Structure formats: C-alpha cells, structure tokens
Structure 1
Amino acid sequence: MKTILPFVLLLAACSGAEQRFLIDPPAEQGAVRLGVSSLEVRDVSLPLYADASEILLEGEDGALTQIDNALWADDPGRAVTLAISEQIGRRSSAAVAPEPWPLEEDAQAAVAVTVSQLVGRSNGTLQLTGQYAISSYDRIVRERIQRFDISVPMTSATPQGVAQATGAAISELSGQITTALSR
C-alpha cells in the first residue's frame, strides 16, 4: 500500500485534472436610488456555446475552441443571473433577487437580459452583447428595451483571463442597468 499511494498521487498530478473557474465580478458598492424599491432579475438567456460548462476562446479562424481542462465552476446562466442580481443589489437601494421572486409581494419591476454574444475574442478582448428589457407591472418605471455592446480587455488568453474579463463585463452591464433604473 505504501508504494501504491505515491504512484496514485503522481498520476493525479500528471493527469491534467480539470480546473474550475468562477464568474466573479468585482465587488461594487453604492447607494444609487432606483425608481423601484424591488427588482426581479429574470434568468439570463445565453447563447448555447456560452451556456456550456467549457470555457471557450475564439481562434484566428473564428472557431470557438475549449481551453484545455478549463470549466466554469457553476452553470453559466445561473452564475450570470446571480452576478447581475448581486451587483445591482449592492449598487442600489432596492431589494433585488433572481427569479423565482422569493417574497410574497411581487417585485415592482423585472429585468430580462438576453445575451447574443459572450466570447473571448482572438484580439484579446471579451465581448458581451445583447439587450435587456425592463418591465414594470404597475408602470412604476418606464418600460423599455435597451441594447448593450461591452468590450473588456482580457489580461491573458487563459481561463483566468477569460473569467476575470467576464466578471468585469457583467459588472459593466449591471452598472448600465442600474443607471437605467435610476432615471
């Protein structure tokens, strides 16, 4: 048994075990007063390739390929939804939660985010594009659909670089939504 254990540990070290990375936007704080006191963040819609567990990068030929042994730590759609909800909640005075809305009284407004592209580009940037829709059940805030096109530099073409840039892009999107709701 004593000779088998070091061999097993050596195999585990050399096997190229999968690494998992968080979508973790930088912590934002603020006290922006929103036009609503409660906001529901609907499940974010991601394109199929961005909703997969593999971390992808665009090659020079435009093909998206998986970074070896690199996976997202959580379901990307869930992680992005939670990150947007937490970012808006930290930046504002509103009670913010992802769907399903956890309180008995309905939220005064909801935001639905549809992402058309979330990709680490071959030029060293991460691109996040799509639209968000703000709906207000009792017309407390003006309903609208707003497009976004966010480009964030990646520090490197590594899983860490993609994860960090994804977090920064989500933080920027959350800031745009917060600003739209403060008007």
Structure 2
Amino acid sequence: MLRPFLIMTVLGLAACSPPPERLAMRPVQSALELRPLVGSAMVRTVTLPTYAAVEEIAFETPNGLIASNEDILWADDPQRAVTIAITRNLSDILNTNVGPDPWPFIGLPDVAIDIQVERMLAGANGTFSLTGQFYVGGDGIDYRNISQPFSISKPMADSSLGGVADAQAAALLDLSERIARTLGR
C-alpha cells in the first residue's frame, strides 16, 4: 500500500517542476569573403566530446573538472547546432552551395568536410576552447585531401551562460574561416 503512494508522490512532484530554460547560440557574421575553388561542399560529420554533445551546458570548474548546469539547456541538439552554424558560415564566406549531411541538393557535392572536436569547453580561466581536426576530401571532383588540426581560444566577456554561448559562436566562426581558406582564395 505504501509503494503505490510513494510512486504517485514522486510522479506528482516531477510534474510540478518547471521545465528547464534553454539558451540559443547567437550566430556571428564573418567579414571574410573568398572566391570558392569548389562548386559545392557538404559538412558530413561533426563529432563532439560526450560532455559537449549533450543538452546540458558544460564548463570547467576551478579544480579542472567538467561540470554542467541541468537547469539551463542548449536550445538545440549541440551536434546539429554546430553543423548548421559551420554550414551557414561556409556558405556565406564562399558564396557557394554548402549543405549538411544528408546532402540537400541534386547530385554529389564536390567535397566533403568532416570535423572531429576534441575539446569544446568554457574554461575556468575565462576562455572558450575549441580544439580538434578537420578533414576535406574530394567526392565529386579531383581535389587533394586535407587534414588540418585546429586549436582556437576565445575570451568570454563574462562567466555567464550568455558569455559562454557568444564565445562558442565566435570559436565556430573562426573554425569556419579556417576551413573556408582551404576551399577558397
């Protein structure tokens, strides 16, 4: 008799808790404009570390541990949001067809871009770090394969979650510009 009462009590309390708030990454515009060396490009994969791939916003604590805030979540799936941000940035910089996987256009893209992120974290030192490696390979044309590491640090205006989101957007723009320089002149 006590067990059904406890279950109903727990379910009732869970129903009363407010939904978590959500934080959107605000896009940043690039001033860079390049002439594309390719007609199209597909951002095929973006892999993120486990702590960065979940909805909770991760940050580094002063003792070097990674923690998260479960009360405020990212507004979108982080992998999807990063893929869309890089796709949009590359399209704007190169002024050519750039799309995510699955490829939204007819025919094959000229090149595919894969990004493997090792670290994407708001640091306890007030900087946002984005490190990893990106790969560009020709799918539809004869294009030399490129493998390039990246290590990007952006200062956060403050330690607020908005400061984290803005620094992350700036770091992703920097990465997009680096990739665009391999695909344009």
TM-score (norm 1): 0.86
1:110 matched to which residue of 2?
Answer: 112
Segments ≥4 residues shifted beyond 3 Å = none
Q: 1:172 aligns with which of 150, 171, 174?
A: 174
1:60 and 2:62 are equivalent in the alignment: yes
Structure 1 residues 70-97: Cα deviation after superposition (integer angstroms, max 9, x where no partner): 2100000000000000000011122000
1:96 matched to which residue of 2?
Answer: 98
Distance in 2 (alpha carbons) for counterparts of 1:63 and 1:95: 41
Moved more, 18-27 or 34-43: 18-27
Cα distance change on mapping 1:119 and 1:108 into 2, 3 Å: same
Distance in 2 (alpha carbons) for counterparts of 1:155 and 1:69: 22
The alignment-based identity, stated in percent, is 36
Structure 1 residues 38-60: Cα deviation after superposition (integer angstroms, max 9, x where no partner): 00001310010000100111011
Distance in 2 (alpha carbons) for counterparts of 1:166 and 1:46: 13
Cα distance change on mapping 1:102 and 1:122 into 2, 3 Å: same
1:82 matched to which residue of 2?
Answer: 84
Matches of residues 1-183 of structure 1 in structure 2 within 5 Å? 18-28=20-30, 31-67=33-69, 69-182=71-184
The DSSP-based 3-state class of the residue aligned with 1:49 is helix
What letter corresponds to residue 128 of structure 1 in structure 2?
Answer: L
Moved more, 60-69 or 96-105: 60-69
Distance in 1 (alpha carbons) for counterparts of 2:177 and 2:33: 12
Gaps of 5+ in 1: 1-14
Report deviation, 1:132: 0.3
More helix by share: 2
The DSSP-based 3-state class of the residue aligned with 1:117 is strand
CA RMSD of aligned residues (A): 1.6
What letter corresponds to residue 95 of structure 2 in structure 1?
Answer: S
* C-alpha contact 2:32 2:177 (8 A) present in aligned 1: no
* C-alpha contact 1:155 1:161 (8 A) present in aligned 2: yes
What letter corresponds to residue 111 of structure 1 in structure 2?
Answer: I
Report deviation, 1:156: 1.3
Gaps of 5+ in 2: 1-16
In the alignment of these two chains, the number of paired residues is 169
* C-alpha contact 2:57 2:68 (8 A) present in aligned 1: yes
What letter corresponds to residue 146 of structure 1 in structure 2?
Answer: Q
* C-alpha contact 2:108 2:140 (8 A) present in aligned 1: no
